[in-house]
Amino acid sequence: MRDDTIAIGLPGVIRRLDRQEMPLLREHLLRLDTESRHDRFNGFTDEGFIERYAAKCATDGTIVIAYLEDGKVLAAAELHPADDENSPLPEVAFSVERQVRRKGLGSVLFRRLIEEGQRKGYESLRVTTGAQNEAMRSLANKFGANLTFRHGESTGEIDLRKQPATAAARFNPAEVFAAPAAFTQAVARFNRDYWKWWLRMVGWRSPMPRGSR
Q: What range defines the domain where residue 105 resides?
A: 2-170
Residue 15: inside a domain, yes or no? yes
Q: How far apart are CA 73 and CA 29, in angstroms?
A: 9
For residue 81, is it within any domain? Answer: yes
Instruction: Using pLDDT thresholds of 50, 70 and 90, give the confidence band for residue 207.
Output: very low
Report which of 90, 76, 65 is spatially closest to residue 28, judged by C-alpha positions. Answer: 76
Q: Output 11 or 2, whichever has higher pLDDT.
A: 11
In this predicted structure, the answer to whether residue 26 has a pLDDT above a threshold of 90 is yes
pLDDT score recorded for residue 198: 45
Q: Count Cβ neighbours within 10 Å for each residue of 177-204 and write b for 16 or more, e otherwise.
A: eeeeeeeeeeeeeeeeeeeeeeeeeeee
**Structure confidence at residue 150 (pLDDT):** 65
Cβ atoms of residues 139 and 154 within 8 Å: no
| Chain CA centroid to CA 131, Å | 24
CATH of the domain at 73: 3.40.630.30
CB atoms within 10 A of CB 173: 9
Is 175 contained in some domain? no
Of 145 and 39, more confident: 39
Averaged pLDDT for residues 16-23: 94
Kindly tell me if the per-residue pLDDT of 35 is higher than 50.
yes
At 164 the three-state DSSP class reads coil
- The answer as to whether 83 is a domain residue is yes
What's the mean pLDDT in 155-172?
66
Tell me, what's the pLDDT at 203? Answer: 55
> Is 210 inside a domain boundary?
no
Beta-carbon count within 10 A of 45 CB: 14
Q: Is residue 32 part of a domain?
A: yes
Q: Is the pLDDT of residue 119 over 70?
A: yes
Kindly state the average pLDDT of the residues 12-40.
92
Q: What is the pLDDT of residues 46-103, one digit of tens each?
A: 899 999 999 999 999 999 999 999 999 999 999 999 876 666 799 998 899 999 988 8
- Judged against a pLDDT cut of 60, whether residue 188 lies above it is answered with no
Within-domain flag for 193? no
Residue 200 DSSP one-character state? H
Q: Which amino acid is at 162?
A: K
Q: How many domains does the chain have?
A: 1
Query: Is position 180 within any domain?
Result: no
Per-residue model confidence (pLDDT) at position 24: 97
- The pTM of the full predicted model, rounded to 2 decimals, is 0.70
* 146: DSSP letter: -
How far is it, in rounded angstroms, from Cα 136 to Cα 134?
Answer: 6
Q: What is the strand order of the sheet 153-159 is part of? A: 13-16, 63-69, 72-80, 91-96, 124-130, 153-159, 148-150
